[in-house]
Structure 1
Amino acid sequence: MADRNPTGNRTPTKILISLAFFCITFIATWLFEVLGTQPMVLIGFGSSLFVAGVAFVVQFLYDVEKRLDKMEEELERHSRVNEARIDEGFKKINAATKLFGLVEASALKTDAITQLVGNSVRIKPNPQLVFDLAQTEIQRLSEMLKTLGDSGDLTYDGEDRDWLLGLTKHVNHSLDAISTTLDVGGQDYFDGSLWQSDLGQRYLEAQRDAVRRNVRVRRIFILDRPELREDANFRRVVGMHDDIQIDVRALDPTLFPRQFIPPIFDFIIFDGSVSYQTSPSAPVTEPSRATIASTQLITNPSKVQRNIDRFNDLWKIATPII
């Protein structure tokens, strides 16, 4: 309170200063009376009182001026702060308006984007582990969308299932796949590996739904051994595909023309615009058994077209399985 009302605390000082002026003036008039011949008591008292009043008023006006100057400085400071806050608020509004405009202009579903933002702000910083996980997933999704928007390639370390099932679920026209018969995952390819796994069963079911949507599904099995064509496990996998009306062909390695280099990894082309492919990696201790080292999602048109041409060339020389 002392800082807010300095004038009030100085009132006794003003009174003392005014009394001092009163005394000085009164003594001066008394000396004039002593030295002079005319009585000046009343005049001296009045003059002293007048001078004291003037001194008090002058001090009061001085303090008022100081307070006004201080108020002016405070108002100017508050004005600058408020102006900065208003500018910042308008910048946020402009950014939000621009962002909302981009959302409205996006080909993606607007409600899905707004739901993402709305659900993101619900994440609290406690517990910290959940908060950090959400932050990482948002960053990962942001980078993924940027890469897709730039027609870049996405790489996932290991075997991904979300891309595979998601693309199969939303494919509209065609699904062309090449499946190599490497020993992936430490088991015989046709007996306990992909097609007998949970992922394989879900993948087949998603392809069944795609066929029901009139999607053309074709698959080429590239056999690493010619005798696999008559293998009972291979025949069972082919039967799984026949049951859901997938057009299947097989290609023996001995039938590759000299101009063809057989692919050493699986790839799937969705709607002629996206290529999903995996890269195998054989452990040093067991080079005959391969694992999935990485999964790539290719959206670059020229790279996708190369896979389309590769599939079409191999489809011509592959033979139906009788």
Structure 2
Amino acid sequence: MDGSSGAPAPAPIPAPGTAEGLRIPPVLLKTLVTVVVATIAYVTTNLINQDQNKLWQLAVSIVIGGATLIVQYMVDFERRLASVETGQQAHAREVADRLAGHHSEMRTLVDRRFTDISEATELFDALDHSMLRLDGVTRLARSATRVSSLGPGLVSAFAREEIDRLASVMENLTTMSADCPGENHDWLMALTKCTTGTMDATSSFVERNYWDSEPALRYLQAQAEAIAQRGVKVRRLFIVQKPEGVDPALLRLCEDQRNMGIDTRVVALSELPPNVRRGTTNDFVIFDETLCYEVEPDLLHENAKTTLNAREDHLRQRVKRFRELWDVGLSDT
């Protein structure tokens, strides 16, 4: 409240000629202008020459009025034509801008697709010239695509984890080394199946219970197949702390493996010469003297880490270490 009586204020009266005022139709306006001009022409001719007859004055007035009407329509037509041309030009610019944007998007998309195709071609060309099986990589890519098409879910998530794990292993192998937590029996089995020459392995007291497990049975079976089918020479050196560790159970284990074609020996660390005693006693397997599978135990004598190492200096040390222990080892026969 501002102290007024509260009566509503009168609405403002729109000014004549404004958008809210009285609007004269264009045809009526042109007619009025024509009549006014014709009247002025008639009066003017009458004042200039009053001796002329009225018919001539009327004819002149009509001609001038008609010309005025025609000029008005021509001006209106020109204004509308200019408006249409402006609209068409604006529409043409808009269409051109849209086409340019669409062309840029299509060009970017095509360039990206060609880049992807070029990268894929380069990748498959590199695979074709590598020692990897191209059909295996292709099968992996197609299978991964089919699994991902199943949509979100546990299966797709598991597939992504497996692909990431495999990609990580491949990236690590480019540095000639890879590792994983715990003991990786899958790596051990795959390497056994790929070996064509020799397998030199050590088995310490930490691993004694392993040989009664199901993975050990499959591992021994894979070694027996490698011996029988590919002529692989397998040597295994069992390491104990003291001579008392060479018990009947260990002797039976050696005999069982010897019956499979595996050459076995036993070495007691306490009986080794000082120069041989110093060195690693971790379990490792050397495949074809080109790659070492090594298991590192923790303080509780549990297998905490598995490492694949194909670096020349590391392999040279492991081959030398195995030969040192093998030469001083005792045959159980």
- Measured against the shorter chain, the TM-score band is 0.7 to 0.9
Contact 1:17/1:55 (CA < 8 Å) preserved in 2?
A: no
Q: 2:329 & 2:137 partners in 1: Cα distance?
A: 44
Aligned pair partner of 1:166 in 186, 190, 193:
190
Q: 1:296 & 1:217 partners in 2: Cα distance?
A: 20
Paired residues for 1:40-79 under 5 Å: 40-42=61-63, 44-45=65-66, 47-49=68-70, 50-51=73-74, 52-79=76-103
Describe the shift of the 1:121–1:34 C-alpha distance in structure 2 as closer, same or farther (beyond 3 A).
same
Describe the shift of the 1:146–1:24 C-alpha distance in structure 2 as closer, same or farther (beyond 3 A).
farther
In the alignment, structure 1 residue 205 sits paired with structure 2 residue 213: no
Q: 1:58 & 1:22 partners in 2: Cα distance?
A: 20
Q: 2:29 & 2:141 partners in 1: Cα distance?
A: 74
In the alignment, structure 1 residue 279 sits paired with structure 2 residue 296: yes
- Residue 10 of structure 1 aligns with which residue? none
SS in 2 for 1:108: coil
Q: Scaled by the length of structure 2, what TM-score is found?
A: 0.79
Describe the shift of the 1:87–1:294 C-alpha distance in structure 2 as closer, same or farther (beyond 3 A).
same
Contact 1:211/1:245 (CA < 8 Å) preserved in 2?
A: yes
Structure 1 residue 303 displacement after superposition: 0.4
Paired residues for 1:188-203 under 5 Å: 189=208, 193-203=209-219
The one-letter amino acid of 2:245's match is L
Paired residues for 1:21-40 under 5 Å: 22-23=30-31, 26-27=34-35, 29-37=37-45, 38=57, 39-40=60-61
Structure 1 residue 46 displacement after superposition: 5.1
The one-letter amino acid of 1:114's match is T
Q: 2:31 & 2:126 partners in 1: Cα distance?
A: 81
Paired residues for 1:1-322 under 5 Å: 19=27, 22-23=30-31, 26-27=34-35, 29-37=37-45, 38=57, 39-42=60-63, 44-45=65-66, 47-49=68-70, 50-51=73-74, 52-122=76-146, 123-124=148-149, 126-152=151-177, 154-182=178-206, 184=207, 189=208, 193-212=209-228, 213-229=230-246, 231-260=247-276, 261-283=278-300, 290-322=301-333
Q: Scaled by the length of structure 1, what TM-score is found?
A: 0.82
Structure 1 residue 140 displacement after superposition: 1.4
**Bigger RCO (CA 8 Å, 6+ sep):** 1
Identity among equivalent pairs (%) = 26
Q: 2:161 & 2:307 partners in 1: Cα distance?
A: 20
Contact 1:29/1:41 (CA < 8 Å) preserved in 2?
A: no
Give unmatched runs, 5+ long, in structure 1.
Answer: 1-15, 284-289
Which has more radius of gyration?
A: 2
Task: Figure out how many residues of one structure are paired with residues of the other and give that number.
Answer: 291
Q: Deviations over 1:59-107 (max 9, x none)?
A: 3333223322322232223232223223222222222222222222222
**Cα RMSD (Å):** 2.4
Describe the shift of the 1:272–1:74 C-alpha distance in structure 2 as closer, same or farther (beyond 3 A).
same
Q: Name whichever of 129-138 and 162-171 sits farther off.
A: 129-138
Contact 2:279/2:321 (CA < 8 Å) preserved in 1?
A: no
Structure 1 residue 161 displacement after superposition: 0.6
The one-letter amino acid of 1:150's match is T
Structure 1 residue 149 displacement after superposition: 1.9
SS in 2 for 1:259: helix
Give unmatched runs, 5+ long, in structure 2.
Answer: 1-23, 46-56
